Amino acid sequence: MSFREKISWISLLSMSIIYGIYFWSVATVAPQNSGVHFGALLTTVISLAFVQVALITGAALFSPKEAKAPLDEREKLIELRSTRIAYAGLASGIATACLLGTLDPPVVYNSNGLLFILVTVELLRSASQIIQYRRSA
Amino acid sequence: MITNQIRKLRFEGGEMTQQELADRIGVTRQTINAIELGKYFPSLEAAFKIAAVFNLSIEAVFHFSEN
């Protein structure tokens, strides 16, 4: 498995687990309790940064040469294709959020809905990268 | 369809490894493997660089057929 593919796996798994816990907590706490939501979000962002930095540093230690090398043409193509797919997902998600926004949901749900779209799109991008790396392996 | 002779040329050229070829043209070993297996078609620049490593013309390394 190449270093770039490992990075995609780290991104996919860490975001799925950490944001999964966050969104579960949002869904089970009353929307009026915005202090709890803010604390949970802060903890999530810090945890995600810590976990990703630790795992990516670990992966780089096992393959230092690949970690230092710039993306080659195949890797750039994979990144571009994945970003294009994710953009389509982002556009669809934002359009859906605009429609649901007319139902006048609580602010906490509205902002978390947008965050959910961003996280989902990032997961889509990582998953797309992994699929393309596997297909050409 | 584009096919290539890279694997054959590597072995004829002193058992060159995929990593050695990758280092010489500035791509990853996985990209060389994908090119050899026909799962990725390199850019014209990379194709010329690969041909230059073996001191051959690009037509001697890559072949195009309509099928």
Tokens representing A38 are 């803010």
> A34 pLDDT band (50/70/90 cuts)?
low
This model's pTM is above 0.90: no
Q: What are the respective helix, strand and coil percentages of chain A, to the nearest 5?
A: 85, 0, 15
Residue A56 has pLDDT above 80, yes or no: yes
Q: Give the pLDDT band of residue A9 (cuts 50, 70, 90).
A: very high
Cβ contacts (< 8 Å) between B24 and chain A: which residues? none
The alpha carbon dihedral of A135, B36, B46, A69 has a sign of positive
CA torsion sign, B34 to B36 to B40 to B44? positive
Check residues A123 and A2 and name the one with the higher pLDDT.
A123
What band does A128 get if pLDDT is binned at 50, 70 and 90? very high
Whether the per-residue pLDDT at A32 is higher than 80: the answer is: no
- Please answer yes or no on whether B33 and A137 come within 8 Å at the CB atom: yes
Q: Which among B18, B28, B37 is the top mutation candidate for probing chain A, defined by the most A β-carbons within 10 Å of its own β-carbon?
A: B28
Q: Give the pairing type, strands B2-4 and B62-64.
A: antiparallel
**Average pLDDT of the residues in A71-95:** 94
Residues in chain B: 67
Predicted pLDDT of residue B15 = 86
Check residue A103 and report its DSSP letter: T
CA-to-CA distance for A122 and A117, rounded, in angstroms?
Answer: 9
SS3 A30: coil
Residue B55 token pair: 């001191």
Q: Do A129 and A8 meet the contact criterion of CB atoms below 8 Å apart?
A: yes
Highest mean pLDDT among A61-65, B1-5, B50-54: B50-54
Give me the pLDDT at residue A31, please: 64
A137–B43: do the CB atoms touch at under 8 Å?
no
- Stretch A85-114: mean pLDDT, rounded? 88
Per-domain boundaries in chain B = 2-64
Chain-chain contact of B46 with A75 (C-beta, under 8 angstroms): no
Of A4, A73, A135, the CB nearest to B43: A73
Residue ranges per structural domain of chain A: 3-135
Q: Do B42 and A73 touch (CB under 8 A)?
A: yes
Mean pLDDT of B12-31: 90
Q: Does B44 touch chain A (CB under 8 A)?
A: no
**Scanning every residue of chain A, which has its alpha carbon at the shortest distance from the alpha carbon of B38?**
A136
What is the distance between the alpha carbons of residues A35 and A80, in angstroms, rounded to a whole number?
A: 38
The greatest distance separating any two alpha carbons of chain A, rounded to the nearest whole angstrom, comes to 52
Average pLDDT over residues B4-8: 92
Residue with tokens 């078609």: B41
- Fold of the B2-64 domain: 434 Repressor (Amino-terminal Domain) (1.10.260)
| pLDDT value, residue A104 | 82
Q: Distances from the Cα of A62 to the Cαs of A11, A59, A109, A136, B56, in angstroms?
A: 17, 5, 41, 22, 36
The reported pLDDT for the residue numbered A90 is 94
